[in-house]
Structure 1
Amino acid sequence: MSFDYDLFVIGGGSGGVRAARVAAGETGAKVALAEEDRYGGTCVIRGCVPKKLMVFASEYAGMVEDARAYGWDIQPGAFDWPQFRGKLHAELDRLEGIYRNILKNNGVETFDQRAKLVDPHTVELADGTRKAAKHILIATGGRPVVPEFPGSDLAITSNEIFHLEKLPETMLIVGGGYIACEFAGIMNGMGVKTTQFYRGAQILRGFDDEARGLICEEMCQNGVDVHLGTNVLEMAREGDKIRVKATNGTERLFDVVMYATGRAPNADDLGLEALGVERGRKGEIIVDEYSQTAVPSIYAIGDVTDRVNLTPVAIREGMAFVETVFKGNPTPVDHELIPTAIFTQPEMGTVGLSEEAAAEQEPIEVYATSFKPMQKAFAGSTQWVLMKLIVSQATRKVLGCHIVAPGAGEMIQLAGIAVKMGATKEDFDRTVAVHPVMAEELVTMRQPVRTA
């Protein structure tokens, strides 16, 4: 059969756009891309980018206090949400324009509508047009989901938080993952009276226990009202507020309730089942190490595959797909030792294994230090930071590095290179400390605090 395109990409987020651009721009392939919403996907439009800008905005209140302690005669003012929101939306529009231009400049044909699969080589657009392609790449991402319970329709998700007309006075955030914890810090920093419910025993499940314990403690110190082992039973509208009944027996009124309890892959109504594309328990598309589905001409990358749901991972998967399919260089995606930043307040950077996961695997040594950073201590703050290395007793390799500190995300990118290279504890020790900085503690820890 003759094809209209060498590649048809469904989804205009970070992964889909990168794959389309590189396939068209570097291999000369004829490429089309369909996107039913905005270009840039979750990360650019309703995720990392606007979230990080909100984190920046929310941190200035604390900076004013610190500045006064350093002798600056400045007074805190009020936070102007509508002004910030206007600038935020203008910036997202600018970034979306860049994404559209990237595709256009690389010769990718775009369709601003939903697409689904008809057969292994054919997609149908919402207007009924059909296009044939040699290869189809699904990069449709994921979405936040709210569980069903009485009154659950009153909750918003992270998608809507960027569009609030006005900042609420009181807000409940339900969830204990990084999205819930980041927004608890953001809203609290912007002056919203913020409560967080999490049904588990500690926030940030899956991350290092000591690190998440410190983050929870600091969040509470900063004014977030965290309730662990607590969930919502039901919600009801009461005037312009929401009455929330909790499992701990309390009933309270909030202006806004945001749920951040999980995300689902966008793989429904794409016509996958009829073609024999396998899906997993959460509805994710099942792929092999080359991102290929059970149907040889159909591939999938990013959050829709529910492997490691991070923007740079989707981009990596898109690049590996192009290498494999269009450059004749089969490239599996390496999902090992991915450094990650969590923009909670305090911030966390992490790479490799938590102390708990490492100890289950082999005998380890733990090097850790906790201290008050110079800048904050001078200002009279009680904030603590944590630097931690998990080391294999047998190979001396650093299996995990965990940092809870201002700027932890910047630090972990560089520590991540060393850990990815297989650096040993002695490699860290041989490196001269940069003084005076917080990160110098990573290379000055001589004695393990414990072994496991």
Structure 2
Amino acid sequence: MKCVVIGGGPAGRAAAMELAALENDVTILERKFIGGTCLNEGCMVVCGLNDVARFLDEARKLRDLGVVDLEYSADYRRIVAGVRETLSRIRHVTERETLDAGVEIIYADAEVSEGKVIAGDDELPYDRLIIATGARPGIPPIEGAEKAITYRDVLDLERIPEKLVIIGGGVIAAEFAGIFSSLGSDVTVVSRSEFLGKLDPLIRDYVMRKLLKDVRILENTSTTSIDEDGAETSAERIEGLTLLATGQRPNSEFLDGFVELRENGAVKVNERMETSRKHVYAAGDVTGGQGTTPVARMEGVVAGLNAAGVERRIDYRYLPYAISLGYDVGFIETGNPEGREAVIPGLAGPGSFWSVPEGKTGLNKVRIQDDGTAAAVYSVAPGARLIMPYLSLLMRMGVSMYEFEGFVETHPSTDGVYKLMRFLSRY
């Protein structure tokens, strides 16, 4: 069976590799770089910059404690050069892995029609088509918005901005606020509603007081205009380079009239990742879903298997999330406010030992229902993102948190969630 996948990001690659493993003839069409936004513009860029930001924070902390004598400075051009070199290496491995799985890769723009895709001078017939074209930065209708930068432009900066104005109140805004504040920028975040408003209030307060303590955050403040020197808001004018972190827009314009689109431009799919057109599937950010790489991969797998005739349905229960700041902020939220809650500070351990003097070891919160089902788990800790996927799996499997009474942890560890689980299992 001939299968064409448009988009070589996490969703497209996952779908293509599932199809290839089932001995289908699979071609990925990618317009620029394999790996999509995550590898080339998003998650990995944040990882590279955040590692440097964390290192600088640790250096300052140890210097201020008198543990080491340090003189240092951050050269943004060198940082960017290192990030780009590392991304290139990862991209090469990703491409090789995809080819070795039996997937052909063609770098070209795509035009779709019934039964075939046009890629440059090539015409590719297909039996099954999977659309995984991702999304791009959403540009709000603000006067002068074209004079701002987005996450796509961060590696093009010549130097660390002296002043940075970030428009937005979500994860992207928080992560870049933390990074550039640690690199030395005077950062102001302007959020038209509550900053990180979907986060648990206690965890949100900790993030703002401890992890973003040097960032000025204006909530419930609209941005009226942007120019080369700053932004005008409903509260005041703020000087500095402006970065837009105002959500994503699905890359779906070329599909208008081919498949049904939602009002926001997202491709409409069902739980089998089927579009409105028979034998055409979609996965990842182009569907306007959760916007995380693991979810995009999960959707790609479901799309690929269904395209191959293997029945699968998407399951969005108990999804783990994380925000990359000075510490990871990991959480699983079911939306159920009922249950018993317990909260403890973070534990001293690898990555947090030298934070004890300043009382910044993190925070843990768990909420469980009477039957032992976890309703929510939150952790602010050096390794918070590592524990969440495993808890997510246990929650999907229906494991009662009461079973954590017999939990044996590795030590030393900064994971305080297990302590709360054991405590709540007894009371």
Give TM-score, length-normalised by structure 1. Answer: 0.87
AA aligned to 2:304 is: V
CA-based RMSD: 2.3
Aligned length: 423
Q: 1:139 Cα shift?
A: 0.5
Please state how far the C-alpha of 1:110 moved relative to its aligned partner. 2.5
Aligned residue for 2:32, secondary structure, equals coil
| Alignment partner, residue 239 of structure 2 | 253
Give per-residue Cα distances to partners, 1:110-166, cap 9 Å, x unaligned.
Answer: 2211102122x1112244x42210011100001111212221111111111122122
Q: Which one of the candidate residues 344, 347, 357 is aligned to 2:328?
A: 347
Q: CA shift at 1:178, angstroms?
A: 0.5
SS in 1 for 2:377: strand
* CA displacement, residues 322-365 of structure 1 (integer Å, 9 cap, x when unaligned): 32232x42011221111111112342101132xxx312xxx411
Sequence identity percentage: 25
- Give the conservation status (yes or no) of the 8 Å contact 2:346–2:380: no
SS in 1 for 2:166: strand
Q: How does 1:5-404 map to 2 (within 5 A)?
A: 6-24=2-20, 26-68=21-63, 72-119=67-114, 121-127=115-121, 129-201=122-194, 203-221=195-213, 223-237=214-228, 242-248=229-235, 250-254=236-240, 256-270=241-255, 272-273=256-257, 275=258, 277-326=259-308, 328-353=309-334, 357-359=335-337, 363-370=338-345, 373=348, 375-376=352-353, 380-393=357-370, 395-404=371-380
| SS at structure 2 position matched to 1:261 | coil
Q: 1:70 to 1:219 in 2, by over 3 A?
A: closer
The runs of 5 or more residues in structure 1 that have no matched partner are none
Contact kept, 8 Å, 1:301 with 1:318, in 2: the verdict is yes
Matched position secondary structure for 1:333: coil
Instruction: Provide closer, same or farther for how the CA distance between residues 445 and 16 of structure 1 changes in structure 2, counting only shifts above 3 A.
Output: closer
Give distance in 1, aligned partners of 2:175 and 2:111. Answer: 34
Letter in 2 for 1:99: T
Supply the distance in 1 between the matched residues of 2:376 and 2:405 (Cα, whole angstroms).
Answer: 15
Give secondary structure in 2 for the equivalent of 1:244: strand
Paired with 1:67 and 1:192, the residues of 2 have a C-alpha distance of 21
Asked if 2 retains the 8 angstrom alpha-carbon contact of 1:215 and 1:346, the reply is no
* Whole-angstrom distance in 2 between the partners of 1:103 and 1:378: 42
Structure 2 CA distance for aligned equivalents of residues 235 and 283 of structure 1:
26
1:415-434 equivalent positions in 2, closer than 5 A: 415-432=391-408, 434=410
Distance of aligned partners of 1:247 and 1:426 in 2 relative to their CA distance in 1, 3 Å threshold = same
How has the CA–CA distance of structure 1 residues 378 and 149 changed in structure 2, closer, same or farther, with 3 Å as cutoff?
closer
Q: Aligned-pair distance for 1:225?
A: 1.2
Matched-pair contact (CA < 8 Å) for 2:366–2:421: no
How far is the alpha carbon of 1:19 from its aligned partner?
1.8
Unpaired runs of at least 5, structure 2: none
Select which of 414, 419, 437 maps to 2:390: 414
Q: 1:150-201, CA deviations, whole angstroms, 9 ceiling, x for partnerless residues?
A: 2111111111112212221111111111011000000011111111111113
Q: Please tell me the residue identity of whatever aligns with 1:45.
A: N
Give, in whole Å, the separation in 2 of the partners of 1:321 and 1:220.
Answer: 39
Query: Could you tell me the TM-score, scaled by structure 2's length?
Result: 0.92
